[in-house]
Chains A and B, each alone.
Chain A
């Protein structure tokens, strides 16, 4: 699990461990990873701390880890900028974390045969940029649209190895990442946005983790190439 020391990734690590998984939590901050592991039930969990946008770190990660039954890419950053302020610099910053890092990790995991036959790959994507568009959300949305595109492509190319590849597209989930978005809008606007959700609240990490654990499990053994919205009904309009 990447991005496992906070937000959705942490929620996924927790639920996967509750379901009996041995989890390798990946993130930038060693302390936070240790804290996450201390909260996980069960034995045999481990951590890998490093900057996963760095090619040498990715290669080290892939070399060090054992074969995996599943992988969850949850590391991500937010960015709010209207189109006319969407510079290449901002695109690069977001795409490095949200797109190039998970795609390169997956490429090497497959190439170095670190995914078992029947493994499940889950990308944490977003409703934004795929099923819903809001002003100022272009760069972030584009990174998540690119991610969904590659996830679907990989589902085809990895199917001969019986590796399933899917993405989960959350609506607004209360996490440190979303706090990044929220800084640019007022509390009043946040309340109004929340009220627009048919289920009248923002998501919680466990709402997303439920879908992730499903995709990781045998219950989803005939599910691949899908982008599944878990969004409080926001895309139902």
Chain B
């Protein structure tokens, strides 16, 4: 399974306006200016593709940081 660092890179790839160098495991992604429902769907699709894990909308909403999302993926693996 991919590491947290690899997940952070994959996460940053979904973003359009945020400099990837500013994205870390501790980034509070829902506070990003560009965060949107479309990005939430992209995150769910990316996780499905890369980890074969199905995240729910509420999993994303209940996560604060990127690491929180990664931990949910780990728990579902």
Q: A residues bordering B, Cβ < 8 Å?
A: 80-82, 84-85, 135-136, 182-189
- Cross-chain pairs A/B with CB under 8 angstroms, 6 sampled: A85-B42, A135-B38, A135-B41, A186-B61, A187-B58, A188-B61
* Smallest Cβ-Cβ distance to B48: which chain A residue: A85
In the bound complex, CA of A85 to CA of B58 (Å): 20
Tell yes or no: B19 within 8 A of A by CB.
Answer: no
Residues of B near A186 (CB, < 8 A) are: 57-58, 60-61
In the bound complex, CA of A186 to CA of B60 (Å): 9
Residues of B near A183 (CB, < 8 A) are: 54, 56-57
Residues of B near A82 (CB, < 8 A) are: 38, 41-42, 45
Query: Given contacts A184-B57, A186-B61, A188-B61, could you give 17 more A-B pairs where the C-beta distance is less than 8 Å?
Result: A82-B38, A82-B45, A85-B42, A85-B45, A85-B48, A85-B49, A135-B38, A135-B41, A136-B37, A136-B38, A183-B54, A183-B56, A184-B41, A184-B56, A187-B58, A189-B37, A189-B57
In the complex, what's the smallest C-beta–C-beta distance from B35 to chain A, in angstroms? 13
Other-chain contact of B42, A84, A182, A185 (Cβ < 8 Å): A84
In the bound complex, CA of A79 to CA of B8 (Å): 26
Asked if B45 contacts A81 (CB within 8 A), the reply is yes
Residues of B near A84 (CB, < 8 A) are: 42
In the complex, what's the smallest C-beta–C-beta distance from B12 to chain A, in angstroms? 15
* Smallest Cβ-Cβ distance to B54: which chain A residue: A183
Residues of B near A135 (CB, < 8 A) are: 37-38, 41
In the bound complex, CA of A135 to CA of B56 (Å): 16
Residues of B near A81 (CB, < 8 A) are: 41, 45
In the bound complex, CA of A187 to CA of B40 (Å): 14
Residues of B near A188 (CB, < 8 A) are: 61
Closest 4 CB pairs of A and B: A85-B45, A136-B41, A185-B57, A186-B57
In the bound complex, CA of A66 to CA of B37 (Å): 48
In the complex, what's the smallest C-beta–C-beta distance from B63 to chain A, in angstroms? 12
In the bound complex, CA of A182 to CA of B45 (Å): 14
- Residues 28-76 of B contacting A (Cβ, < 8 Å): 37-38, 40-42, 44-46, 48-49, 54, 56-58, 60-61
In the complex, what's the smallest C-beta–C-beta distance from B65 to chain A, in angstroms? 18
In the bound complex, CA of A135 to CA of B57 (Å): 14
Residues of A near B45 (CB, < 8 A) are: 80-82, 85
